[in-house]
Amino acid sequence: MAGLAAAFGSGAMTNSIAEIEHTEVILATGTNTTENHPIVGMMVKRAVRQNGAKLIVIDPREIDLVKYADIWLRQRHGTDVAVLNGLMNVIITEKLFAKEYVDARTEGFEAMRKVLEQYTPEYVEKISGVPAEDLKKAARLYAGANKAAILYAMGITQHISGTDNVKSCANLAMLCGNLGIEGGGVNPLRGQNNVQGACDMGALPNVFPAYQAVTNDELRQKFEKAWDAKLDGKVGLTIMEIMEGALSKKIRALYVMGENPMLSDPDLSHVEHALKNLDILVVQDIFLNETAQYADVVLPSACFAEKDGTFTNTERRVQRIRKAINAPGYAKADWEIIAALSDRMGYPMEYKNAEAIMDEIRTVTPSYGGITYERIEKDGLQWPCPTPDHQGTRFLHKDRFTRGLGLFHAIDYIPPDEMPDKDFPMVLSTGRVLYHYHTGTMTRLSAGSTERYPESLVEINPADAARMKIKDGQMVKVATRRGAVKVKALISERPYEGAVFMNFHFHEVPVNQLTNPALDPIGKIPEYKVCAARVEAA
Amino acid sequence: MENKITVTIDGREAEALPGQTILDVAKAQGIFIPTLCYLDCTTKVGACRVCCVEVEGARSLVASCCMPINPGMIIKTDTKKVRNAQRMIVELLWASGDHNCLTCEKNGACELQNLVYWLEIEKPRFRIDSPGYETETNNSMISRDLNKCILCGRCVRACNEIQVNEVLDFMERGSRAKVGPAFDADYINSQCYFCGECVEACPVGAITFKQARFKGRPWDLKKVKTTCTYCGVGCQIDLNIHDGKIIKVTGNRDSREPNNGSLCVKGRFGLDFVSNPDRLKTPLIRKKKGGELEEATWDEAIAFIAKKFKDIKAKHGSDALAGLASARCTNEENYLFQKFMRAVIGTNNVDHCARL
């Protein structure tokens, strides 16, 4: 998100999901959207099959979307910046870029152009393995469209160069004038129901709700007044830094609401030590998950079907959730628990219901200023929606970027933190599969998902399997510098020769004991998509 | 505005746009024309002919779902000729399969059953021959009983044109014609993604939600509209509730965006966790490190935490505490959580797993 915020002034998905179906060219990179956001995948497929849209897929894996693609650029893992720079090199060399748009609406073009000079298709082919001719074709296709949408997800962000990757996507879109128009945009697809909302609401160490910086005195004073409390003006710790802090006893208490870091964080043994080192760990969840096993207090919470509230989807649409059934036993909605704890600590939080909290949110969150339960009773509203008569915003940056001019970033390719070598000759990449979700807490309890995808699998290219004498369904050992797991092999053309793919849904195969915790220096996102691994028959 | 066309439908003049069908015009005028094979947002195939109407000057009855209007067209939707044709069609469909409403999950929500009633058909005119297919029950999500299939093709279009999963199609011909995945495979042995679009598209009891079988009649179910809890698309779903339990999940089609009623396998079939017996039901406290988690009251648990948090804050400062909010919880809860950490604890050490 930091990447988009730097380029445009706002980190959110620029356009709307429905626009995907009616655009001319879709460039999907680092998003296996038919499995991770199947309804977005559906829109992409409909655009291609029914509306004549052209699809460019940039992905090391032969994901389902490749079947629908006009051009598939299969880059080596972690070489995204090189490929995106290569596309822009061609577009500039062949004078296909939107010069008027670049002149009028952006800054930083010259500096970027200089860096792009060396990224000729031939040079990019050497780095990424993408044939120079394919790169040129893709560049011409993207640049030739009146409107083209870029879709991306964790395949772009979960790298040490994640922020660079995002900025490169932003560069490409601005270069071709694809921002501030219907059907265009740079569209990060959020993988979790309310990750957008959690960010909007200030569940981040550096900002209050609506991305208002905690370091800004004026903004902080506004919140001090609204909340009637003295507030700290220095940026807090990120999730990784909190774990580090727990190890060094800098952090002594951790309150976890609805998260399972014991399965989702990189380098799990590290997290385990951190959690054990705390004076108190409070876990509030619907299940006794892996993290809760280390808790001193466990608080039972209601799930989404048992409470009222709102989620904000990937396209900034604030939508209602509604209580349909009662929570089991003594479980309570998370907001009720927080309020009870706050009361006990001497800061009364008296809210009649979830709507009363939204009424307060509206007063301190400018982009949510016009959002009321009454207005979103039938259809959600897309922020920014600053006033009660505002109709919401379908796409951002029309006529003007949030930050004024769009900012190009000159970005050089850097290789992944850990490359294959003699001891660990293969590339391991991780992600989700259609039938499961995140740490599997929910989907693994579903009869259907379990039936369709009962156990963890490692996808191995047939050539590698033949060389290593591994058969389909055989148990193999996948090892990296950090650990090893045993897992069943799925022989598949999806990964290229020399690469394997694993999911992180199964606690019996804790793939995050293998992944590389190296972080993107700005986004603080771990490099889940590339590390060096060794595979052998178990 | 584009040039409007004037037509006459059931004696009244109606304005409509070129390209609209007779069915579109009738709907806009509040005139009911029955349909079976018609499925919104997909190709109009005119396969079942139950939507037939009389058009002055036409050689025969026309299928209103796919007949575009012409200027001056005179349309009649409820003549004897139309009703007789509709009755014949429905009676033939009825006779083509094993439409036994007593045991059918679709009883009360079946479009064929509704048409038999609407057309006031007393009893079947033709001998009923069940095709004798085996019911497909070898997966836990979707049941198929092709004996009830009327070959309207809605599932085929839902699969190919709405979800673009390209799994279902027609196969065989004539009386042996049927729908299904390639090579006549069962769903579980095919490429099927179990989005369930075909189930919602089916007008009869041929494709049904298996887990909802015998769990509640259509008229028992209360639909509660909400937002799916899985990915970031935020699909609008209807939880179908009976007896305090979620019986099934259907797409909400009142909201066009973001999903216009379509869902994926997780939102559709992934809510078993809600009623799982392992759900946490009471607070638990581990009174001393290394001990067991023991059941506690809310009052004990909250008091325990408040004391610990206060002690740590007093001894080590606010920044010795940290909180992880959640991309799974609501806006209201995330707001309150960060407010709690910032205003009550006094630290900005609050984050969530957006990065993972």
Range of the domain at A36: 2-189
Confidence of residue A386 (pLDDT cuts 50, 70, 90): very high
Based on the domain organization, do A212 and A339 belong to the same domain?
Answer: yes
A200 → closest Cβ in B234, B272, B331: B331
Number of structural domains chain A divides into: 3
Of the listed ranges A69-73, A354-358, A525-529, the least confidently predicted one is A525-529
Give the type of residue at A183: G
Question: What pLDDT was estimated at residue B128?
Answer: 85
- B195: chain A residues, CB-CB within 8 Å: 38
| Structural domain includes residue A388 | no
Q: Which of A451, A325, A21, A514 is nearest to B210 (CA)?
A: A451
- A206: chain B residues, CB-CB within 8 Å: 348
Confidence of residue B356 (pLDDT cuts 50, 70, 90): low
- pLDDT averaged over chain B? 95
**Quick one: average pLDDT of A402-429?**
94
Task: Give the helix/strand (H/E) hosting A75.
Answer: none
Instruction: Give the contacts of A3 (CB within 8 A, at least 6 positions apart).
Output: A11, A162, A163, A164, A165, A166, A167, A169, A170, A522, A523
B272/A445 touch (CB, cutoff 8 Å), yes or no: yes
Question: What pLDDT was estimated at residue A260?
Answer: 85
Distance CA A353, CA B52 (A): 52
- A346: chain B residues, CB-CB within 8 Å: 344
B234 → closest Cβ in A1, A311, A441: A311
**Measured torsion, CA atoms of residues A393, A394, A395, A397, in degrees rounded to the nearest 10:** -20
B344 → closest Cβ in A1, A38, A347: A347
- B213: chain A residues, CB-CB within 8 Å: none
A252 → closest Cβ in B320, B333, B351: B320
User: Is the dihedral angle over the CA atoms B30, B32, B38, B44 positive or is it negative?
Assistant: negative
Based on the domain organization, do A314 and A443 belong to the same domain?
Answer: no
- pLDDT averaged over chain A? 94
Please compute Rg for chain B using Cα positions.
Answer: 28
| Shortest Cα distance, chain A CAs vs residue B216, angstroms | 16
Residue of chain A whose Cα is closest to the Cα of B235: A39
B280/A300 touch (CB, cutoff 8 Å), yes or no: yes
Which of A189, A209, A229 is where one domain is finished? A189
B331/A339 touch (CB, cutoff 8 Å), yes or no: no
Across B108-141, b (16+ Cβ under 10 Å) vs e yields ebbbbbebbeebeeeeeeeeeeeeebeebeebbb
pLDDT tens digits along B258-294: 999 999 999 999 999 999 999 999 999 998 888 999 9
Q: Is A332 helix (H, G, I), strand (E, B) or coil?
A: strand
- B333: chain A residues, CB-CB within 8 Å: 257, 309, 333-335, 338
Give the type of residue at A62: E
| Structural domain includes residue A166 | yes
- A319: chain B residues, CB-CB within 8 Å: 227, 234, 236
Give the type of residue at B9: I
Residue A52 has pLDDT above 90, yes or no: yes
Distance CA B5, CA B72 (A): 8
| Structural domain includes residue A407 | no
CATH number at residue A308: 3.40.50.740
| Structural domain includes residue A181 | yes
B351/A239 touch (CB, cutoff 8 Å), yes or no: yes
| Structural domain includes residue A312 | yes
What token pair was written down for A460?
């191995």
- B335: chain A residues, CB-CB within 8 Å: 201-202, 209, 357, 360-361
- CB-CB contact of A518 with A160 (8 Å): yes
Based on the domain organization, do A82 and A164 belong to the same domain?
Answer: yes
Based on the domain organization, do A114 and A262 belong to the same domain?
Answer: no
User: Is the dihedral angle over the CA atoms A240, B228, A46, B173 positive or is it negative?
Assistant: positive
Based on the domain organization, do A255 and A367 belong to the same domain?
Answer: yes
Distance CA A336, CA A349 (A): 9
pLDDT tens digits along A195-229: 999 999 999 999 999 999 999 999 999 999 999 99
**DSSP of A123-169:** HHHHHH---HHHHHHHHHHHHH-SSEEEEE-HHHHSSTTHHHHHHHH
A201/B272 touch (CB, cutoff 8 Å), yes or no: no
| Shortest Cα distance, chain A CAs vs residue B180, angstroms | 18
B305/A297 touch (CB, cutoff 8 Å), yes or no: yes
Question: What pLDDT was estimated at residue B142?
Answer: 97
A217-227 vs A354-364: helix crossing angle, rounded to 10: 150
Question: What pLDDT was estimated at residue A538?
Answer: 84
Domain B5-78 falls under CATH 3.10.20.740:
yes
- A285: chain B residues, CB-CB within 8 Å: 280
A328/B342 touch (CB, cutoff 8 Å), yes or no: no
Residue B156 has pLDDT above 70, yes or no: yes
**Quick one: average pLDDT of A466-471?**
94
Angle in degrees, CA A43, A45, A49, rounded to 5: 120
* β-bridge mates for residue A332, sequence order: A301
Based on the domain organization, do A181 and A241 belong to the same domain?
Answer: no
Residue A93 has pLDDT above 90, yes or no: yes
Q: Which of B114, B124, B142 is nearest to B269 (CA)?
A: B142
Distance CA B169, CA B153 (A): 8
B259 → closest Cβ in A39, A205, A447: A39
Residue B177 has pLDDT above 70, yes or no: yes
Based on the domain organization, do A168 and A200 belong to the same domain?
Answer: no
**Quick one: average pLDDT of B7-17?**
94
Domain ranges of chain B: 5-78, 131-275, 284-355
Residue of chain B whose Cα is closest to the Cα of A256: B324
A341/B141 touch (CB, cutoff 8 Å), yes or no: no
Residue A523 has pLDDT above 70, yes or no: yes
Confidence of residue A440 (pLDDT cuts 50, 70, 90): confident
What token pair was written down for A49?
């099959």
pLDDT tens digits along A243-264: 999 999 999 999 999 988 877 6
A39 → closest Cβ in B258, B342, B344: B258
Question: What pLDDT was estimated at residue A290?
Answer: 86
Residue B1 has pLDDT above 70, yes or no: no
Confidence of residue A513 (pLDDT cuts 50, 70, 90): confident
Question: What pLDDT was estimated at residue B183?
Answer: 94
| Structural domain includes residue A408 | no
Based on the domain organization, do A151 and A204 belong to the same domain?
Answer: no
Question: What pLDDT was estimated at residue A1?
Answer: 63
pLDDT tens digits along A102-153: 999 999 999 999 999 999 999 999 999 999 999 999 999 999 999 999 999 9
A242/B349 touch (CB, cutoff 8 Å), yes or no: yes
Distance CA B178, CA B282 (A): 52
B354 → closest Cβ in A195, A257, A322: A195
Task: Return the residue matching tokens 């947002």.
Answer: B41
- CB-CB contact of B325 with B312 (8 Å): no
B334/A203 touch (CB, cutoff 8 Å), yes or no: yes
| Structural domain includes residue A396 | no
A329/B318 touch (CB, cutoff 8 Å), yes or no: no
Which of A349, A382, A415 is where one domain is finished? A382
Which of A326, A348, A382 is where one domain is finished? A382
Based on the domain organization, do A179 and A218 belong to the same domain?
Answer: no
Based on the domain organization, do A74 and A142 belong to the same domain?
Answer: yes
Based on the domain organization, do A164 and A294 belong to the same domain?
Answer: no
Find which of A323, A445, A505, A524 to mutate to test the B interface (most B CBs within 10 Å of its CB).
A445
| Structural domain includes residue A6 | yes
**Quick one: average pLDDT of A353-366?**
97
- CB-CB contact of B152 with B48 (8 Å): yes
Distance CA B40, CA B38 (A): 7
Instruction: Give the contacts of B201 (CB within 8 A, at least 6 positions apart).
Output: B39, B154, B155, B157, B158, B162, B207
- B259: chain A residues, CB-CB within 8 Å: 39
Q: Could you please state the CATH topology (level 3) that the domain comprising B131-275 is classified under.
A: Alpha-Beta Plaits (3.30.70)
Based on the domain organization, do A149 and A239 belong to the same domain?
Answer: no
Confidence of residue A271 (pLDDT cuts 50, 70, 90): confident
A254 → closest Cβ in B140, B224, B322: B322
